[in-house]
């Protein structure tokens, strides 16, 4: 696993944040050097957040969203609570804590996206608030496994805008919900059956807003080390304008406990929607 965040070429500060955390050992990773972990009984958590708000409020919102997510997931789950329910409950609680912090002077209106992946056993549980994306790269193909909770995606789903128009729209950065900005959030949840050699990529819209799936696959799917792929993707986004903060995380799965992917193991065949976001 590796991750990288960059201010980009236009913004004066970086409101993105990310981490990897091993819930069994307590280790936490927030820098570009790669790390290899055995999942163990409690698993590994990956998360990315894109803050929003005036002054430094966006930085506070993204950092606080991740802090409270990790704090909640490090605690013991409730009896008979599955991974998806635990992740949902933790994110809902974290959003309420961010909302309380947003009531302080100078932090009005602050919020953040949050996309997290909880790896345990042979399963990845994926959670999303906002429009930071998660992708699956498998057998030379790329699949977007989250759905943007954005105004333009709403128009695309209603048949009022094409995907190409959405990518060019000046309203493409409007999200329908965010951590701390809503009284209650609806956590979109999915469960993915992992295969050996899968790569999971999480990113903020500073990357996905400038690079298409083909460009992301070219680097994230190449037979290179994950930290090299992250660095290449950040540089490619900067070459494309770098008009926002850029963050990317990349994790590769391996081990005898995972099946080898076959041609039939598409994302559609191996991912199950647990809870859908419906505005």
Model confidence pLDDT, tens digit, residues 67-123: 999 999 998 778 789 999 999 999 999 999 999 999 888 788 899 999 999 999 999
- Domain residue spans of the chain: 2-275
Q: Which two tokens stand for residue 201?
A: 């990529």
Distance CA 251, CA 245 (A): 20
On whether the CB atoms of residues 18 and 249 are closer than 8 A, the answer is yes
Instruction: State the Cα–Cα distance between residues 106 and 71, nearest whole angstrom.
Output: 25
The class level of CATH for 2-275 reads alpha beta
Phi-psi region of 219 (alpha: psi -120 to 50; beta: other; left: phi over 0): alpha
Cβ pair 178, 113 in contact under 8 A:
yes
pLDDT score at 55: 59
DSSP conformational letter for 260: B
Kind plus residue range of the DSSP H or E element containing 65: helix 57-74
Give pLDDT, residue 66: 98
**Beta sheet of 2-6, edge-to-edge order:** 2-6, 246-252, 199-203, 133-138, 141-144
The count of C-alpha atoms lying within 13 angstroms of the C-alpha of 138, restricted to the half-sphere facing its C-beta, is: 27
Q: What are phi and psi of 257, to 5 degrees?
A: -80, -5
Please report the pLDDT score of residue 54 as a whole number. 64
Instruction: Tell me how far CA of residue 189 lies from CA of 195, 240, 246, 261, 268, in angstroms.
Output: 19, 31, 24, 23, 14
The token duo for 65 is 């969203």
Return averaged pLDDT per consecutive 10 residues of the chain, 279 residues in all: 97 96 93 89 97 83 97 86 96 96 87 98 98 98 97 94 89 94 94 98 97 97 95 98 97 95 93 95
Full DSSP string of 159-208? TSS-HHHHHH-TTTT-BS--BTTSSS---EEEEEE--BT-EEEEE-HHHH
């Amino acid at each position: 696993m590796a991750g990288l965040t960059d201010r980009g070429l236009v913004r004066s500060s970086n409101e993105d944040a990310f981490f990897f955390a091993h819930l069994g050992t307590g280790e936490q990773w927030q820098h570009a050097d790669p790390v290899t972990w055995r999942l163990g009984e409690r698993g590994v958590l990956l998360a990315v957040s894109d803050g929003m708000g005036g002054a430094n409020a966006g930085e506070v919102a993204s950092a606080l969203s991740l802090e409270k997510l990790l704090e909640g997931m490090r605690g013991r789950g409730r009896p008979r609570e599955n991974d998806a329910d635990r992740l949902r409950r933790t994110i809902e609680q974290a959003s309420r804590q961010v909302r309380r912090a947003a009531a302080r002077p100078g932090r009005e209106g602050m919020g953040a996206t949050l996309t997290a992946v909880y790896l345990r056993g042979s399963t990845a549980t994926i959670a999303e608030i906002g429009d930071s994306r998660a992708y699956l790269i498998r057998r030379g193909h790329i699949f977007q496994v989250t759905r943007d909770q954005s105004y333009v995606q709403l128009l695309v789903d209603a048949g009022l805008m094409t995907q190409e128009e959405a990518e060019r729209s000046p309203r493409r950065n409007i999200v329908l919900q965010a951590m701390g900005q809503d009284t209650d959030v609806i956590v979109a949840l999915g469960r993915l059956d992992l295969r050996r050699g899968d790569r999971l990529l999480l990113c903020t819209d500073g990357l996905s807003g400038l690079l298409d799936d083909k460009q992301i696959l070219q680097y994230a799917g190449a037979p290179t080390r994950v930290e090299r792929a992250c660095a290449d993707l950040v540089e490619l986004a900067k070459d494309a304008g770098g008009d926002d903060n850029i963050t990317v995380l990349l994790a590769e799965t391996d081990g005898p406990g995972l099946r080898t992917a076959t041609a039939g193991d598409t994302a559609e065949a191996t991912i199950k929607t647990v809870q859908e976001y419906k505005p």
